[in-house]
Chain A
């Protein structure tokens, strides 16, 4: 025997795994095309191969299961009607086989267990089919098929020997030289759409460990760099003798690079292999008929990327089946074919791969998305009016946005397209959506071919060069003072007029901490990240280069501006700019001040967290600050536009009257420009008049809580070495709206009457979220640890518990689960707070039945979650 037992088992596991996956797919196909004898033969052969191999290595449980499944398939092969029940039973068997295989792989032996029920079921199905067959056979014997004819003649019951005979007449498994049963080459064909040519001779493939390939890839990357360096040197020299061999080296290196890249490539069909089964099962569960069409399954992609997009794709297909495809009746009523179609297509386009997931379902409900966007304050009503349907549909990528009002078991809750978008962003991809009501929806994802080598634009800012990934670059605009395209400023924030739109500009040199004002002379790299477009101002642009991405040093990974580094042809190390990191900065900051580099932080305790604060001057008493996350917008308006009525100052702002309230002792100006900090919540909007916006800073805050007499101030903290008052926004919220203020007026009420409990270990966040929660008009209790929290949550007035999931996720989930299981648990609204919502977190949240997971600084989502509940209570009252 060539193999030891372990080798044999290993070989068996990987081979059987592949075979079983193929059976999975083939069965689904067969159910749709019950008359396709080719598929049936294939399934037959595969199941028999598995059974034979199991018997050979001595795995009785697996053998019994496959045998039972085989006898049912045998009846189909004989011409019995293919029922959905039978297919489901076989698929179930396959699941069971998979489980056993998994355990076998782990422990090296078959787990103990009883499959009696399943086997009895399968045998009953086989009997039933047999009975049906014996009634029908006399009139149609199908003599054209020799195997069926054989079975007809010999009738039932089929003995093992007879079945074997049948298989010998079908093109079946062959015994290899070592006596093992080998799967025929066609069994391994990964895609069923295109018939693949059978490879001559033995297997032309080799299993190589991923590590080996990764190592090869690293070495080739080094070779490319060395070659680039050599080329650079030879350019400066006139040595002819050197040029020719160098030319050859260059060519060979390029070919080698291509070759190694290819070994990392896998057909995208591999990532899709589980989808037919998923769609079939979903269809059965939802009572819909859904067809899955896959195009371009052999489009090749880097293995690493393939792994990363597998889950988002599965999620999208599930979404299609669950939400997009209408029920059978609806479809018929709309004059569409009874069965819905989900189409997956992949193709190469330039240096990237485009994947499209489309369906012929009902399309997106634009009106509902618009409503929801308004409700979540993602845009003003006037803005929404002006938006095209395409722009509105992109809101579904917004964090926390989900239109599914009815929660079904299929898509789960909370995890929506926003998570898909985060995953696609992570690999430097671009996602977009197009939808036509009643006709269908198409989501396209454009992703780079590989993560290891990317095409990048080399730019210079200040004295340094940087690389910007080409995939995010939309265009380059030359700007010059006095020219057509020039950079203009709004309160120090540079913008560019581009095709009748204002493009926010970020000077790369300022971002990188270069001193001095950014020059007006240079290039704007117009960048698009999701729906956000912005320009990066650089001093010069060199060229586009294929760069080998090297990961950032662990000591530097915390800097959000860079995604990695690379070595250029001249040997210099160049940092790769992460446009996502910059986009986040653009989103968070309204002025360029935010991007000014802070002085290097002193050694801080690693647990300390930073908060982005807007610092401004108001009145004589030094500076004040408010967390930037609570600010909607910064504006500067002409004081002449203010209207005075009834002792209040109002401003006509975005089609509404906005009250203007001075902060502290600041006076509202009567002439000139008045800087405003705009705060809004749902219908409420107000402008805080301040003397000047000073800066936006990231600081670890240690807030000293102010005494009760200090109205309008939570406390003070040291920001940039200066004592700064932290504003209590609740104080400035409109006093004539009872909803906003009721919480404050009853400050004296004892804590045990609290209705909302906030469990948050960070002192600062507790202080910061406090006023926000109070603004919802209810009593708040705080807990910094779970013990206190358990005690407080037990009070009967409690309606809502907010739990921080970041600091100690495990303890938080345990606490949430215990809370849910408690006496009043079912009526309690339990919300999770996180600053980083991963799919895993959402899954765990669903497991312990959290009502919602909210981004920590998403004040709007938080308030709307609380408001949702409140309105319900109002109705009850």
Chain B
């Protein structure tokens, strides 16, 4: 993976993009056919997750807990979070290896389980667009915008929204 030297962002940057501070660097991941981007400032590390402890009665998006260098990390399945079907056997086997992106939120460590991690991309403001209006509401809530790439589209994820699960009220 290579990362370009950071340049100062173009003056007059689109306001939607400004929501991500100065960074327009993304760690790209894929879920199904879709290319997604996570703001690089939010990504702690990329690692292979194995030996995941499933948590009975947990929300379906939560794959389980894993140990990352002595920290207990909550693994969230991005596929399920985005409403894609998940093959039933994928996560139940403890020994299987999953590609994970490490993210910190509120002092807690999370891992987003994705299908694959691609390269780090540095993109120009000019290709950024807000989320198309007709996008499915559940998707729209998780996306911050779209970058038009030459070959395909990159959906920028709103990390905070992705990690904000609807939890049942404590009994």
Question: Given A222, A225, A558, A565, which contacts B169 in the complex, CB threshold below 8 Å?
Answer: A558
A797 to B32, CA, bound (A): 67
Identify the closest chain B residue to A553 (Cβ). B74
Q: Is A645 an interface position by the 8 A CB rule?
A: no
User: Do B56 and A698 touch across chains, with their CB atoms under 8 A apart?
Assistant: no
User: A553-B74, A571-B67 are contacts. A558–B60 as well, Cβ < 8 Å?
Assistant: no
Q: Is A483 an interface position by the 8 A CB rule?
A: no
What are the interface flags for A461-484 relative to B under an 8 Å C-beta threshold, 1 for contact and 0 otherwise?
001100000000000000000000
Identify the closest chain A residue to B166 (Cβ). A603
Task: Name the distance in Å between A604's Cβ and chain B's nearest Cβ.
Answer: 6
Task: Name the distance in Å between B100's Cβ and chain A's nearest Cβ.
Answer: 14
Please, which residues of chain A bring their CB within 8 A of the CB of B167?
Answer: 555, 558, 606
Q: Is A226 an interface position by the 8 A CB rule?
A: yes
A159 to B9, CA, bound (A): 77
User: Do A464 and B169 touch across chains, with their CB atoms under 8 A apart?
Assistant: no
User: Do A222 and B70 touch across chains, with their CB atoms under 8 A apart?
Assistant: yes
Task: Name the distance in Å between B10's Cβ and chain A's nearest Cβ.
Answer: 38
User: Do A597 and B56 touch across chains, with their CB atoms under 8 A apart?
Assistant: yes
User: Do B170 and A560 touch across chains, with their CB atoms under 8 A apart?
Assistant: yes
Please, which residues of chain B bring their CB within 8 A of the CB of A265?
Answer: none
What are the interface flags for B39-57 relative to A under an 8 Å C-beta threshold, 1 for contact and 0 otherwise?
0000000000001011111
Q: Is B72 an interface position by the 8 A CB rule?
A: yes
Task: Name the distance in Å between B106's Cβ and chain A's nearest Cβ.
Answer: 7
Residue of B58, B59, B70, B72 with most chain A CB atoms under a 10 A cut-off: B70
User: Do A560 and B74 touch across chains, with their CB atoms under 8 A apart?
Assistant: no
Interface size class of A (residues with CB under 8 A): 35 or more
A566-584 with Cβ < 8 A to chain B: 567, 571-575
Question: Given B58, B108, B169, which contacts A610 in the complex, CB threshold below 8 Å?
Answer: B169
A245 to B59, CA, bound (A): 44
Task: Name the distance in Å between B94's Cβ and chain A's nearest Cβ.
Answer: 8
User: Do A554 and B108 touch across chains, with their CB atoms under 8 A apart?
Assistant: yes
User: Do B57 and A555 touch across chains, with their CB atoms under 8 A apart?
Assistant: no
Q: Is B171 an interface position by the 8 A CB rule?
A: yes
Q: Is A251 an interface position by the 8 A CB rule?
A: no
What are the interface flags for B72-93 relative to A under an 8 Å C-beta threshold, 1 for contact and 0 otherwise?
1010100000000000000000
User: A513-B57, A573-B65, A597-B56 are contacts. A604–B168 as well, Cβ < 8 Å?
Assistant: yes
User: Do A610 and B106 touch across chains, with their CB atoms under 8 A apart?
Assistant: no
Q: Is B62 an interface position by the 8 A CB rule?
A: yes
User: Do A553 and B67 touch across chains, with their CB atoms under 8 A apart?
Assistant: no
A317 to B171, CA, bound (A): 33
User: Do A464 and B170 touch across chains, with their CB atoms under 8 A apart?
Assistant: no
User: Do A608 and B169 touch across chains, with their CB atoms under 8 A apart?
Assistant: yes
Please, which residues of chain B bring their CB within 8 A of the CB of A573?
Answer: 51, 53, 64-67, 72
A676 to B119, CA, bound (A): 65
Please, which residues of chain B bring their CB within 8 A of the CB of A550?
Answer: 72
User: Do B169 and A606 touch across chains, with their CB atoms under 8 A apart?
Assistant: yes
Please, which residues of chain A bring their CB within 8 A of the CB of B168?
Answer: 558, 601, 604, 610
A558 to B72, CA, bound (A): 18
Identify the closest chain B residue to A601 (Cβ). B168
User: A553-B72, A553-B108, A555-B74 are contacts. A567–B59 as well, Cβ < 8 Å?
Assistant: no
Please, which residues of chain A bring their CB within 8 A of the CB of B56?
Answer: 511-513, 559, 561, 597
User: A226-B70, A603-B166 are contacts. A556–B62 as well, Cβ < 8 Å?
Assistant: yes
Question: Given B58, B60, B65, B166, which contacts A606 in the complex, CB threshold below 8 Å?
Answer: B166
A610 to B59, CA, bound (A): 15
Main secondary structure of the interface of B (DSSP, over half): loop
Q: Is A287 an interface position by the 8 A CB rule?
A: no
Identify the closest chain A residue to B56 (Cβ). A512
User: Do B171 and A698 touch across chains, with their CB atoms under 8 A apart?
Assistant: yes
Please, which residues of chain A bring their CB within 8 A of the CB of B108?
Answer: 553-554
Identify the closest chain B residue to A513 (Cβ). B56
Q: Is B165 an interface position by the 8 A CB rule?
A: yes
Task: Name the distance in Å between B102's Cβ and chain A's nearest Cβ.
Answer: 14
Task: Name the distance in Å between B2's Cβ and chain A's nearest Cβ.
Answer: 32
Q: Is A532 an interface position by the 8 A CB rule?
A: no
Please, which residues of chain B bring their CB within 8 A of the CB of A559?
Answer: 55-58
User: Do A555 and B66 touch across chains, with their CB atoms under 8 A apart?
Assistant: no
A388 to B131, CA, bound (A): 70
Please, which residues of chain B bring their CB within 8 A of the CB of A575?
Answer: 53, 55, 65
Please, which residues of chain A bring their CB within 8 A of the CB of B169?
Answer: 558, 606-610
A495 to B168, CA, bound (A): 31
Q: Is A557 an interface position by the 8 A CB rule?
A: yes
Q: Is A782 an interface position by the 8 A CB rule?
A: no
Please, which residues of chain B bring their CB within 8 A of the CB of A222?
Answer: 70
A359 to B127, CA, bound (A): 78
Question: Given B51, B70, B74, which contacts A225 in the complex, CB threshold below 8 Å?
Answer: B70
A586-608 with Cβ < 8 A to chain B: 597, 600-601, 603-604, 606-608
Please, which residues of chain B bring their CB within 8 A of the CB of A606?
Answer: 166-167, 169
User: Do A556 and B171 touch across chains, with their CB atoms under 8 A apart?
Assistant: no
A567 to B94, CA, bound (A): 15
Residue of B62, B72, B166, B168 with most chain A CB atoms under a 10 A cut-off: B168
Q: Is A813 an interface position by the 8 A CB rule?
A: no
A597 to B51, CA, bound (A): 23
Q: Is A562 an interface position by the 8 A CB rule?
A: yes
Please, which residues of chain B bring their CB within 8 A of the CB of A567?
Answer: 67, 70, 72
Please, which residues of chain B bring their CB within 8 A of the CB of A562?
Answer: 55
B121-171 with Cβ < 8 A to chain A: 165-171
User: Do B59 and A600 touch across chains, with their CB atoms under 8 A apart?
Assistant: yes
User: Do B59 and A555 touch across chains, with their CB atoms under 8 A apart?
Assistant: yes
A567 to B67, CA, bound (A): 7
Please, which residues of chain A bring their CB within 8 A of the CB of B165?
Answer: 555
Identify the closest chain B residue to A221 (Cβ). B70
Please, which residues of chain A bring their CB within 8 A of the CB of B72?
Answer: 550, 553, 565, 567, 573
Task: Name the distance in Å between A593's Cβ and chain B's nearest Cβ.
Answer: 16
Please, which residues of chain B bring their CB within 8 A of the CB of A561?
Answer: 56-57
A698 to B168, CA, bound (A): 11
Identify the closest chain B residue to A698 (Cβ). B171
User: A558-B169, A606-B167 are contacts. A464–B54 as well, Cβ < 8 Å?
Assistant: yes
User: Do A464 and B59 touch across chains, with their CB atoms under 8 A apart?
Assistant: no
Please, which residues of chain A bring their CB within 8 A of the CB of B51?
Answer: 571-573
Please, which residues of chain B bring their CB within 8 A of the CB of A571?
Answer: 51, 67
What are the interface flags for B89-109 relative to A under an 8 Å C-beta threshold, 1 for contact and 0 otherwise?
000001000000000001010
A226 to B60, CA, bound (A): 31
Task: Name the distance in Å between B107's Cβ and chain A's nearest Cβ.
Answer: 9
Task: Name the distance in Å between A337's Cβ and chain B's nearest Cβ.
Answer: 50
Task: Name the distance in Å between A607's Cβ and chain B's nearest Cβ.
Answer: 7
Please, which residues of chain B bring their CB within 8 A of the CB of A560?
Answer: 170-171
User: A553-B72, A558-B169, A609-B169 are contacts. A572–B55 as well, Cβ < 8 Å?
Assistant: no
Task: Name the distance in Å between A538's Cβ and chain B's nearest Cβ.
Answer: 14
User: Do B74 and A556 touch across chains, with their CB atoms under 8 A apart?
Assistant: yes
Task: Name the distance in Å between B15's Cβ and chain A's nearest Cβ.
Answer: 30
A554 to B164, CA, bound (A): 10
Please, which residues of chain A bring their CB within 8 A of the CB of B53?
Answer: 464, 565, 572-575
What are the interface flags for A829-864 relative to B under an 8 Å C-beta threshold, 1 for contact and 0 otherwise?
000000000000000000000000000000000000
User: Do B57 and A572 touch across chains, with their CB atoms under 8 A apart?
Assistant: no
A222 to B109, CA, bound (A): 15
A776 to B51, CA, bound (A): 57
A433-491 with Cβ < 8 A to chain B: 463-464
Please, which residues of chain B bring their CB within 8 A of the CB of A511?
Answer: 56
User: Do A565 and B65 touch across chains, with their CB atoms under 8 A apart?
Assistant: yes
What are the interface flags for B1-12 relative to A under an 8 Å C-beta threshold, 1 for contact and 0 otherwise?
000000000000
Jot down 25 A-B pairs with beta carbons below 8 A, ordered by A: A222-B70, A464-B54, A553-B65, A553-B108, A554-B108, A555-B167, A558-B169, A559-B55, A559-B56, A561-B57, A562-B55, A565-B65, A565-B72, A571-B51, A571-B67, A572-B67, A573-B67, A575-B55, A597-B57, A600-B60, A601-B59, A604-B166, A604-B168, A606-B169, A608-B169
Q: Which 6 A-B pairs have the closest CB atoms?
A: A512-B56, A600-B60, A553-B74, A558-B170, A573-B53, A603-B166
